[in-house]
Chains A and B, each alone.
Chain A
Amino acid sequence: NAGVTQTPKFQVLKTGQSMTLQCAQDMNHNSMYWYRQDPGMGLRLIYYSASEGTTDKGEVPNGYNVSRLNKREFSLRLESAAPSQTSVYFCASNREEAFFGQGTRLTVV
């Protein structure tokens, strides 16, 4: 039982490049989330998906897009990366308690 799997674990991008962070869960959860972690800011919600086919903005959605491809997968896309998007990104899913992926450390130079 893998839980929540996030890829990649590390990524360095140049300003203006694009990339997609992948997230998949095997727990049949309806709800999935993308967060970013920055020093002193805790976990801030970027986007969430309450069920397959729906997505909603969180606290800090600007510069990001998401796709809920199916019940298992929820991807986060940076169309044109900026240094301000340097962060650690976490994907999570839940029915009651949330389960988190291992995180993606992204650096934009």
Chain B
Amino acid sequence: ILNVEQSPQSLHVQEGDSTNFTCSFPSSNFYALHWYRWETAKSPEALFVMTLNGDEKKKGRISATLNTKEGYSYLYIKGSQPEDSATYLCAPGGSNYKLTFGKGTLLTVNP
């Protein structure tokens, strides 16, 4: 079983705050690292798929970095908005195509 740890488990921030959370994963047999956004009562939606050490990706106010050697990725949200409230999931994908998710970070942005 692939140990994927996400921290913190939950986070409350005020509108306009910037925030970040962490995904830790075993660095061996690394293939790709996925980030998803999951709103309540909906299905998860992909944010980023990252494969290269040092990779940095950005989509609007959300960005992510990847360190495959030490086995972690950070997700950053700049200027949080209430609509950013969701659970953010990460999933390292191995070369065997197995996609295993962490338990997620539940973000609540208060207006």
User: CB distance B46 to A58 under 8 Å?
Assistant: no
User: CB distance B44 to A100 under 8 Å?
Assistant: yes
Within 8 A of A (CB), among B13-60: 32, 34, 36, 43-46, 49
- With contact pairs A59-B1, A97-B34 given, residues A48 and B98 touching in the complex (Cβ less than 8 Å): yes
Compute the total of residue contacts between A and B using a CB distance below 8 Å: 56
User: CB distance B102 to A42 under 8 Å?
Assistant: yes
Rounded to whole Å, the gap between the CB of A49 and the closest CB of chain B is 9
Expressed in whole angstroms, the Cα–Cα distance for A92 and B97 within the complex equals 13
* Interface band, chain B: 20 to 34
Within 8 A of A (CB), among B47-98: 49, 87, 89, 91, 96-98
Q: Does A22 sit within 8 A of B, measured CB to CB?
A: no
- With contact pairs A48-B97, A59-B1 given, residues A97 and B46 touching in the complex (Cβ less than 8 Å): yes
User: CB distance B89 to A33 under 8 Å?
Assistant: no
Chain A residues proximal to chain B, CB less than 8 Å: 30-31, 33, 35, 40-45, 48, 50, 56, 58-59, 90, 92, 94, 96-103
Residues of A within 8 A of B49 (CB): 96-97
> Chain A interface mostly helix, strand, loop or mixed?
strand
Give the 9 A-B residue pairs with the shortest CB-CB distance, closest first: A97-B46, A42-B103, A100-B43, A50-B97, A43-B101, A31-B97, A96-B49, A42-B104, A97-B49
User: CB distance A96 to B43 under 8 Å?
Assistant: no
Chain A, Cβ-Cβ closest to B36: A98
Chain B CB count within 10 A is highest, among A35, A43, A58, A99, for: A43
Q: Does B7 sit within 8 A of A, measured CB to CB?
A: no
Residues of A within 8 A of B104 (CB): 42
User: CB distance B99 to A56 under 8 Å?
Assistant: no
Residues of A within 8 A of B96 (CB): 50, 56
Expressed in whole angstroms, the Cα–Cα distance for A30 and B97 within the complex equals 10
